[in-house]
């Protein structure tokens, strides 16, 4: 529904959509309306766009990114021609599945309708894996540190300004002419 007039902005498209031409954001013609897909509330969800010389390629365009001009019988898509042409295609006999809807919506930069099956894919660099630096039980990390240093008790951390005895240095390295001392705790 159009908020200002209270009318359905897709009313003309629903009744005679096959007569509408489809243009990109720069008013370059990309095809014509092949079909109009309605949801369970009889609202337009997708526009089927037929492209190519013989109309052999069809794609879906979400209704959220289109503007209908009934007077000129055209649809303006808020995307470039190449983007529309490379959108996920579908066959004339193919049904619009939730998976296809998600592919189309994601392709055009919209939120998918289905929740992700795994919100954090295993190849996600932000996903946290096991971290041996974190105690799973109190004192677990301290016990591991004692095994590494061979000490019965962990040495106390030095106070600010306190000199670290040389026997507690692990190694020294030179970085940019500065000697860096690394120490065991």
Q: Which two tokens stand for residue 29?
A: 């013609």
21 in a structural domain: yes
Q: pTM for the whole thing? A: 0.57
Strand partners, 69: 74
Burial class of 60 by CB neighbour count within 10 A (0 to 12, 13 to 18, 19+): buried
Asked whether residue 32 is assigned to any structural domain, the reply reads: yes
CA 101 vs CA 1, 29, 63, 169: distances in Å: 22, 24, 12, 61
Cβ-in-10-Å burial (0-12, 13-18, 19+) of 67 comes to exposed
Domain assignment of residue 75, given as a range: 11-107
Q: 119-135, pLDDT tens digit by residue?
A: 555 565 555 555 555 55
Say if residue 111's pLDDT is above 60: yes
Q: Is residue 18 part of a domain?
A: yes
Looking up residue 83, the CATH number of its domain turns out to be 3.90.50.10
């Amino acid at each position: 529904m159009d908020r200002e007039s209270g009318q359905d902005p897709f009313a003309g498209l629903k009744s005679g959509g096959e007569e509408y031409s489809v243009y990109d954001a720069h008013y370059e013609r990309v095809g014509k309306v092949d079909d109009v897909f309605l949801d369970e509330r009889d609202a337009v969800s997708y526009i089927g766009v037929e492209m190519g010389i013989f109309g052999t390629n069809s794609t879906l365009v979400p209704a959220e990114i289109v503007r209908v001009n009934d007077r000129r019988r055209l649809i303006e898509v808020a995307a470039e021609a190449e983007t529309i042409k490379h959108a996920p295609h579908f066959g004339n006999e193919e049904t619009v599945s939730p998976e296809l809807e998600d592919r189309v919506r994601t392709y055009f930069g919209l939120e998918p309708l289905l929740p992700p099956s795994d919100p954090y894919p295993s190849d996600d660099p932000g996903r946290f894996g096991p971290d041996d630096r974190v105690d799973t039980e109190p004192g677990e990390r301290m016990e591991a540190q004692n095994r590494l240093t061979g000490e019965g008790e962990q040495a106390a951390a030095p106070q600010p300004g306190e000199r670290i005895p040389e026997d507690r240095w692990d190694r020294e390295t030179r970085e940019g002419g500065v000697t860096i001392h690394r120490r065991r705790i």
